Every structure is written in structure tokens, then in C-alpha cells.
Structure 1
Amino acid sequence: MARPTPVSERRSAPSGPAELARARAVLSAGPVADAYASFRLARDLLSDDDAAPRLTLAATLGAADAAWAAGDRNTCLAELGPATDLADATPDPAAGLLTDHLTGLRALLEGRTADATTALRRVIARGASGHRPRHLHRAAVAALVLGDTGTAGQIGARALAAARAHGDDDLVAEALEYLAYAEMRAGQHARARAHADAGLRAAVLAGQHNTAAHHRAVLALTASVEGDTGEVADRAAEALTVARRHGLAQTRTLAEWALARADLGRGRAEDAASRLAGLVSARPGGGHFAIRPLLMPQFVEAAVIAGQARAALPVVQEIEIWTDLGIDAGAAAQLARCRALLAAHDGNDDAAARLWARALELHGDGGDGFERATTQLLYGKWLRRRRRPSAARVQLREALHAYERHGATAWAAQAADELRATGEPAGATSSAATPALARLTPHQLRIARYVADGATNREVARRLSVSVRTVDHHLRNIFVTLGVRSRVELTRVVVG
């Protein structure tokens, strides 16, 4: 006679709804590979239940979300097909909105830009026409996917307000995540910081570790614009700890981008290029497929400044392909800027001048003011090196003021240093030197700032396009002028 199974060893049959709830919890706070497996299991358990079509759809959508977070483009695309079919068959008046959204995402990942744009524009129009929180949120996400960051921010703010009014706490956290990201991409860094701060608090309280990591990555990016290198390092480290443990490719890419942008803001182009090289790679372990195009122009900038123009050439070709897709309003201006950098590097002054002017024309007076300022800073540097100080001052002054409006301290300091190097009086810039530093020439002041920031003489020489011997000579004179005997003492004087 068989021995009865002890109560402690009995197991009930797995439940589709329970597995779906478990998958959602893991996606929020655990490894996304585990979440993906749980969503697949939940879908299998639910698929035979004719009474649970919405739950089956939710499980399929969750699997696609997990694949997206992991940066697995092919798996995400494979899940979008069944999700689209399920949404189309779901007896729900709102299903059409979801079907259009999934159809648009699928078309975009397959490179069918026109089809994607048509479907996602329908989502924006229908979702934004009312006051239903989740419809508004879906419209904001569709706008962000299309690169319309202004519309994404406007509708996203409405979605957040509606979610709060309806007491939908889960949607509040998700709306804050997308809204902060949209504002960051639109160059509205102060707003992005405020919403990422709120989202981080909400995620921590809810135990949503993955969402919290994403918000920390966005905060690192905003800090990289502001020049707060300490906060960049801290926030990025916190985000990366979770991202690497849980396989969050999107969060990891954002955090590493923040570190690279902080390097570039401090004039460390070689370090920035090294960090970004891995992120722009399409190989496994590279940057997230949805973010790679956004950071490629910065890699080109860093690589050219660091003397690695050859490494930038294939990336510029990828930027050309991305621009031709027509889903990123700022891509054309950034492409022109990248081409200008390469032309300047090759000594083709006529082509460089045309491309700088074209880049500014494409930026226009609206859009991302930070990106326009970056173009003006680089253009101003080039003009100064071509001994055209008056023209350089025009670009550098505008760059300085734009950076100040964005709170971009480190970048504003670069613009101010370049202005002084053109002969602009120190008092005319917002980063005037201390009385001790005022005894230095503009060129010596720039070298002193770089050295105080930790740059070696070789790194300073590369940034200024001079020989190491020239830097050595200037540094000796700086020591004599300021009465210091070491780099440590010089740093104390510069930092104040």
C-alpha cells in the first residue's frame, strides 16, 4: 500500500493568475530573465482558460516588457506579434488603442518607420483626446517612441495628474519614470530631476528596486549636465549595482552614459570615448538598442577630440541611417555637427564651416537648447583655433548663456574658459577667476583648471592641441606666478 503524501509535501497545481502576479513582482524588483520566464509560464497556464483573455494578454505584454528591459530586441519583437493578435481579439472597447500601440512598436523594430508612425500617431490622437489616465500614458509613451519629446512631456504630465487624481499608485510610478526620461531627452533637465526624485521616492516606498534603479540612472544623467561629478558617481553606482545584478540593460546604459557625459563635461574626452565605445557597439553586452542612437553623437565628439577620428567613422554612418528614419527631431543637427568635427579634424576648413552653419540651422531656436549650446561650443572652439576670435566669441557667449540657463556648470566653465582664451575680459563671463588666478593669462588659466581637475600634462596637451613640452613650460610659469610648488597646492588655489 502506497504511503500517503505528507501535507508538507503536497503541492497545488500552478495557477496562471498567481504566476502572473509573481512575474510582475519579479519584473519590478528582481532579475528580468526570471520575470520573462514567469510571464511565459503564466501565459501557458492561462492560454487554455477561455475566461482569461485579458490576463493572457497581460502575460504576453509582460514578457515583451521584460525582454525590452533586458535589451533583447529579437525576443521583444517575437513577443509583440502574439501580443498584437491577442489585443486585437480582446473584447474591450480600449483594445484598439493597445493594438495600434503594439502594431507601431512592432513596425518600428522591424524598420517599417512609415507604418510605425501611422499607428503610433493614432495612439497619440486617441489617447490624448480624453482624460483616462492609462490612455493618456499610452499616448505619452507613443510620442516618446516617435522621438516627439515635447509632446511626450506634455501628455505625460497630464497622465501623471490624472493618475494621481484617480489614486492609481502603480500608474503614478510608471508615469513618473517615462515623464522624467522624456524631459531629460528634451533638455529639460531640472524638470527631469524633480520627477525622477519623486519617482525614486515612490519606487523605494513600494519596494520596486528596478524602477528605483532607473530613476537613479536618470538622476545621474541630470547631474552630469549640472557638473556635479560626485552625485553622478554615486547615483550611477547605485543604479549599476542593481542593473548588473538584475540584467537591466536600459538602466545600465543610462548610468554608464551619465559617467561618460560627466567625463566629457570635465574635458576628459579620452575617458568618455572609452566608456561610450562599448555602449555604441551592437555586440552582446553593448548599449540598449533603444538608447544607442541617442549617445552615438556624443561618442563621435569624444572620439574626435581624443584623436580617435577613425573609430568615429562607422558610428557616423550609423547616425546617418538613424537620421534617415525620421523619428528623432534632433538627429539631423547632431549628424551635421559630427560631420563638421570630422571635416575639421581632416583640415577641410571650407566643409567644416558649411557643416557648422548647417548644424545650427537645423537646431533652430527651439528644441533641445543644451544640444544647440554644445554645437556652438564646439564651433566656437574651432573658430578660435582658426584665429577668428570675434566670430568665436559670438558662438561661445551664446553657448555660455544657454548652459547657464540649463544649470550646466561644467559645460559653462568650458565655454567661459574658451571665451577668455579669445581675449574676452574675465569680468564679461560668469565664471570669473579669483584674484590670484586673475594674474594668469587666459591660456595659463585653462591649463591650471585642467590640472586641478586631475588631468596629466599629456591629457592637457591633447585637449589644447599643443605639445607636452609647451604644457610643461606653461605649468612652470603658472607655479611661479601663483607661488605654488606642487599640483596639490595648485588645485587648492584653483578650487578655492
Structure 2
Amino acid sequence: MSARCVLLLTAAAYESDPEEPRVDGGLVLRAAAAAGLDADAVDAAERAGLRRGPDGRLRLPGRRAVYEAARPAHRRAAHRLLAEAAAGERHRTAELLHRALAAPCPDSARGDALAAAARLPGPSRGERATALALAAALAAEPGVRAERLVAAADQARLAGRPHRARELLDRAGPLACPDEVRGAAALVRGLLALRDGPVADARASLLLAARLCPRGRACEAWLAAAEASWALGDAEAYRDVVGEERAGTATARSYGRAMAAALDDRYAAGRAALRRFVAAAADAGDPDALLRAGAAALVAGDVEAACRLGSRALAAARALDAGPEVPRALELLAYGELRAGRHGRARAHAEEGLRAARLTGQRNVLAHQHAILALVASLDSDAGTVARHAAAAQDIAARHGLVQAATLAQWALARADLARGRAAGAAARLGPLVRPGPRGGHFAVRMLAVPCFVEAAVAAGDLEGARAAVAEFTVWAERGYDPQSQAQLARCQALLASGDPARAEARFTEALARHERTGGDFERARTAELHGEWLRRARRPARARILLRDALVAFERCGATVWAARTAAELRATGDAPGHEEPPGRLAELTPQQLRIAHCVAEGATNREVASRLSVSPRTVDHHLRNVFAQLGVRSRVELARLVAGAAHRPTPRT
């Protein structure tokens, strides 16, 4: 019997926050002691299933069944004991909640006290949500019940419990309430949809909230509506929302004007204003303000500031128990590190962000993390890994209207194609994304993908498309939105100058010099690799080898193993063997060009794709491939692929 009492006290303690996995062990043990239960009773409860963690918190599997099996009078007695054990200012909300649950009949006065306590500092967000929901049930007036249910939903949202938040909003829906409460409900619904739902619906709900809410919450609604427009890729709507002069505080209006200016012809003034905004926000303690400043830093081209603000937002979100802000901070950090070329850090933050987004039910954030992981995987993983992350991002993006996530995912797939020499496929993916218009990619991302498109388009023979993209990229690069853009522009101009060797050489040299001033191993290595490839085709193998070796080391240093393999193959085509390695087994019988063709065919490339990758004619590829088949004694491309794969996994002999 005594063990059953301890179990009931534990089950009743969960009622203050039913979704918490553990409860305060000290509270339960104090209540048990007040009931005259000793340590033997606790030991017996542990034998019956109670679990005590190293932090003293208690877990009870099947707690709901224990609670519902008890008689109502016994449940009320358990709550009275817990209320007495929770006495004191620190546990005020828990005390009032258990007193309300111990009462034999509804008491509106207890509900008023509970609602007031839930708004004071101290309780967790989950406990606040439970207290406000109970206070709503104890209220006599429909408007008061609605207001408390909406407030409870907001706390459940902030606790990372979107399903609970929506359930509370649904309960508030039929109740008559003033416009201010309707506005608060629209705001909570909009914020929930912004993180886990169609963002067009989120924007509509948030704009309604901005009209109905008082000034402070209206500002929050306007800013969130702007974020929804950004996710939708609707630049015009974004400028309209952030440019709304009635929206929010003076700080919010200055931010909006700066962002609107930075995205149109007033870009210089806009960038300067954004940098002032970023500097002013450096000491902010609110995660949302830090995240907004981080986004502004990215638009202003200050990637390092964005990463610093992302780190601060992450620390602030964790310190303030702001569950939904944690995956958003990790998203900003992952994207900032990706833009900075620190791909290992980007992967670490995105993988942590995936876990946090799943835990808090934020599929829209999840889509962005998958898109970032797809971009990272396009450097160092097999094509299947890129495709898996891209498909996960696009699945959510298609259903929820996430144009930015969809653009990043397509860019990742194209970059994976490009790394494997499939230039035509990469150009086909990127062409729609980099062109302006309704079928284009996201307005803040498409210019970042232009260098990839130009490389693919030139290799695929689409010089007209490449020139059109470079013309727009030239204007964009001059605005300074990305530290790497001037070096990338020079590289693009070099690729287009195939008929003018002196100009091509000058532009490649300029690109490498600019990379030295801006850093970033990956982009510098890509320029060096393309320069080396151009030199090899120009029959200058000695200079080509120097650049290709430099690119190979840089790719290896930043973990871009797929691109390192491409560069190593290019080196072999110059007659050099990276690291002085000999091809294993029968592959050692092949010439460097034959070996490179064999590797390309083993990866699944067609003769035309191999020709494009090696800058030779399809007829030359066919000639070499027939010689490879004869020399190796294979009869099909499948047999060749097996032979190459087997050689790759054969241990290197020790000397």
C-alpha cells in the first residue's frame, strides 16, 4: 500500500507538466514524508517500477494508468500533499496548480491566482502552459477562458510542443473573445505554421495578427510575416512587409528600411544601414533579435558577424529555455559556416539542428538543415547521400512552399553532378534557378549559385546562357553581398574567355589573387583546379601540374574528397600521379588518359559525358575505351566498373 502511495504521488506530480519525461524527486519525497511514508516505501516503489535518475529526478513508466486507476478522492489527496510540499515562492505556480487539482469543485478565484502566477518568472514554459490551461478551465467568462487558452498555447509553442499548442488553440476557437485575443491566437497560429506548415498560410495569419494585436505583438507579427515572405521567395511581398511604416518599433522600422534598400537599387545605403543594425544588436540578449541581426549580417555580406551572432543566439536560446529558437540558431550557424567555407562546422551544426528540429516539431527548419547537409555532402560524400538529403528537403519544401530550401537542395544536386563531370545535367538543374522570374530560384540564393552554373554551362557548350548569367552576376558582385564574389566573377570571366588565351590567363590569375585576400580553401581550390584544367588543354602541363597539386592539397585540407578525386584524375591526365601512387593491379597497364576514361566510365558516365569532362571528342573516348576493354580483357562497362571498384578496395602492398 505504501509503495502505491509513492507511485500515485509521482504520477500526480506529472500533472503540472504532463509532457515532461521526469518530475522533481525532492517534491515527491517531501510529500511522501508528510504522508508518513519512509524510505522503505520509496524502495518498494522503485521495485514496482519507479526510476530515480542521477540528478534526483523521478521517472514513472505507465504513470497515466497509475493516475487514472486511483479514486478521485485519492488523487485529490495526493495533489494536496504535493501543494503543501511545494509551498514557497520558488514553487508558487506548482503549489497553486496542485491546490486547484485538489479542489473538489471548480474555483474561479484559484484560477485567477494560478493564471497570475504562471506569468511570473520561474516556472518552465511547459509548466506555464499547463497552469494557464487549468486556469482557463476554472474561468467563468468565455473571453477569459479564450485569453488563457491562447496564452497557454503560446507557452506550449515556446516549449517546443506544437501539437499541444494547436490543441489549445482549437479549444479557444469557438469562444467569444475580443479582437486582441483573436489577434494573439492568429499570431500563435502563424508562428506555428512558419516553423511547421505552409508558409503562405503562416503569412496570412501573421498579417491578420499584425492588424489586431497591440503594438508590441503587432511588431512581432510584422517581422514574422516578413520572414514568411522570405521563405516563400517572394521578394516584392518581403519588401512591402518590411517597408510598412506602421509596423512596430523604431528599431524594427529601421531594420525593415535597411533590408528593403539592400534588396533593390539603394543597395549601398541599405548595406551600410544593415551593418549599423548588426553592430547595434551585438549586445542583445534576446535570441530572436540576435537571429534577425545574423540574417541582416548575411545580407550585408558580413559572414563572420553572422556566425558570431548565430553562436550568441544559440547560447541565449539554451539559457532562456527557448526551445524553438535552438534549431533556428543552429540553422543560421550552419548556413553561415557554409558560406564561410567551413564545411565541417556547417555539417556539425546542421546535424545537431536536425535533431533539435525533430524534437521540437519544426519541419520547415528541418528542410533547411537537410538542404545544408546536401550542399556539404556534395563536397565529400557519394551521390546517394546528396540525393537523400536533397529529397528530404524538397519533400517538405514542395508541401510547405519553402522556395529557399528547394533552391539550396537543387544547387546541391547540381554541384554533385558537376563534381562528377556531368556538366550538362548540372547546367539543366541550375539554369532555371539562376534566371530571374517566377520560375527562378530564391532571390537571396540564386546569385550564389551562378559560378557553378557558369562552369557547368561552359563545359556543356551553353555559352550564351553563361554570358547572360555573368552579366547579372557582375552587378551583384560589385554590391559586395558575398566576400568570394569578386574572385568567382574573375573565374567566370576566365571560363568565358576560351577564345582569348591572354585574357583567360589574366582573369584566372586575378581570381587566385582575390582568393588570397578573402580566404576560403574550397573556392580557391576550385579556381586553381579549373585554371590547371585550362592549362592542360592549352598543352602547358608543367604549369598545370603546379596548380592542380595546389588544388588537390586544398581540397583534401577542407575535406572535399569528391573534388579531390576529380583533381587527382586531372593530374593523371597531365602524366602526373598524385602522391606518386601507381594504379593497382591490371589498371597499371593503362596510360593516364585511358585510366581516367576507365574511372569515368566506372562512375556511370556516358561516352559523351566523358568527352565533355576530358575536353576531347566522343570518337576519341570510344577509341580509348575499346583499347581499355582489350587491354584489361573485359567485355562490358559493367565488368569494367567491377574491376575498377575492386582495385579501389585492394590493400596497397607494403614495401
> What is the TM-score with the length of structure 2 in the denominator?
0.70
Residue 389 of structure 1 corresponds to: 541
**For residues 28-70 of structure 1, what are the alpha-carbon distances to aligned partners after superposition, in whole Å with 9 as ceiling and x for unaligned?**
1111111111112222322xxxxx2111111111211111100
Residue 619 of structure 2 corresponds to: 469
Residue 237 of structure 2 corresponds to: 75
Residue 406 of structure 1 corresponds to: 558
Taking a change above 3 Å as real, the CA distance of residues 173 and 85 of structure 1, as seen in their structure-2 partners, is same
Q: 1:444 aligns with which of 587, 594, 600?
A: 594
Q: 1:86 aligns with which of 232, 240, 247?
A: 247
**For residues 440-469 of structure 1, what are the alpha-carbon distances to aligned partners after superposition, in whole Å with 9 as ceiling and x for unaligned?**
111011111111111111221222222222
Deviates further, 117-126 or 179-188: 117-126
Q: Does 1:33 align with 2:200?
A: yes
Measured after TM superposition, the shift of residue 101 of structure 1 is: 2.5
Residue 188 of structure 2 corresponds to: 21
Measured after TM superposition, the shift of residue 169 of structure 1 is: 1.9
Residue 486 of structure 1 corresponds to: 636
Unaligned regions of 5+ residues in structure 2, if any? 1-172, 647-655
Q: 1:12 aligns with which of 176, 182, 185?
A: 176
**For residues 177-218 of structure 1, what are the alpha-carbon distances to aligned partners after superposition, in whole Å with 9 as ceiling and x for unaligned?**
111001111111111011001111111111111111111111
Residue 343 of structure 2 corresponds to: 189
Q: 2:512 aligns with which of 357, 360, 373?
A: 360
Deviates further, 175-184 or 142-151: 142-151
Contact 1:227 1:411 (8 Å CA) reproduced = no
Residue 524 of structure 2 corresponds to: 372
SS state of the match for residue 87, structure 1? Answer: coil
Residue 6 of structure 1 corresponds to: none
Alignment of 1:64-463 (within 5 A): 64-82=226-244, 85-88=246-249, 96=251, 98-129=252-283, 133-344=287-498, 347-364=499-516, 366-428=518-580, 433-463=583-613
SS state of the match for residue 436, structure 1? Answer: helix
Higher relative contact order (CA 8 A, sep 6+): 1
Measured after TM superposition, the shift of residue 132 of structure 1 is: 5.2
Taking a change above 3 Å as real, the CA distance of residues 426 and 18 of structure 1, as seen in their structure-2 partners, is closer
Contact 2:525 2:554 (8 Å CA) reproduced = yes
Q: 1:495 aligns with which of 636, 641, 645?
A: 645
Deviates further, 419-428 or 291-300: 419-428
User: What residue identity is the alignment partner of 1:462?
Assistant: S
Identity, % of aligned positions:
53
Measured after TM superposition, the shift of residue 99 of structure 1 is: 3.9
CA distance, structure 2, for counterparts of residue 148 and residue 186 of structure 1: 10
Deviates further, 65-74 or 147-156: 147-156
CA distance, structure 2, for counterparts of residue 343 and residue 354 of structure 1: 10
CA distance, structure 1, for counterparts of residue 256 and residue 358 of structure 2: 30
Residue 144 of structure 2 corresponds to: none
CA distance, structure 1, for counterparts of residue 247 and residue 577 of structure 2: 67
CA distance, structure 2, for counterparts of residue 58 and residue 162 of structure 1: 18
User: What residue identity is the alignment partner of 1:435?
Assistant: G
Contact 1:32 1:248 (8 Å CA) reproduced = yes
Residue 220 of structure 2 corresponds to: 58
Taking a change above 3 Å as real, the CA distance of residues 251 and 155 of structure 1, as seen in their structure-2 partners, is same
Taking a change above 3 Å as real, the CA distance of residues 251 and 334 of structure 1, as seen in their structure-2 partners, is same
Contact 1:232 1:259 (8 Å CA) reproduced = yes
Taking a change above 3 Å as real, the CA distance of residues 85 and 369 of structure 1, as seen in their structure-2 partners, is farther
> What is the TM-score with the length of structure 1 in the denominator?
0.91
Report the structure number with the largest CA radius of gyration.
2
Taking a change above 3 Å as real, the CA distance of residues 326 and 10 of structure 1, as seen in their structure-2 partners, is closer
Contact 1:403 1:409 (8 Å CA) reproduced = yes
Residue 93 of structure 1 corresponds to: none
User: What residue identity is the alignment partner of 1:356?
Assistant: F
SS state of the match for residue 364, structure 1? Answer: helix
Contact 1:232 1:258 (8 Å CA) reproduced = yes
CA distance, structure 2, for counterparts of residue 133 and residue 63 of structure 1: 18
Measured after TM superposition, the shift of residue 257 of structure 1 is: 0.6
User: What residue identity is the alignment partner of 1:118?
Assistant: A
User: What residue identity is the alignment partner of 1:12?
Assistant: A
**For residues 396-428 of structure 1, what are the alpha-carbon distances to aligned partners after superposition, in whole Å with 9 as ceiling and x for unaligned?**
011101111121111101110111111213543
**For residues 291-342 of structure 1, what are the alpha-carbon distances to aligned partners after superposition, in whole Å with 9 as ceiling and x for unaligned?**
0110011101100011111211111100111012122221111111011001
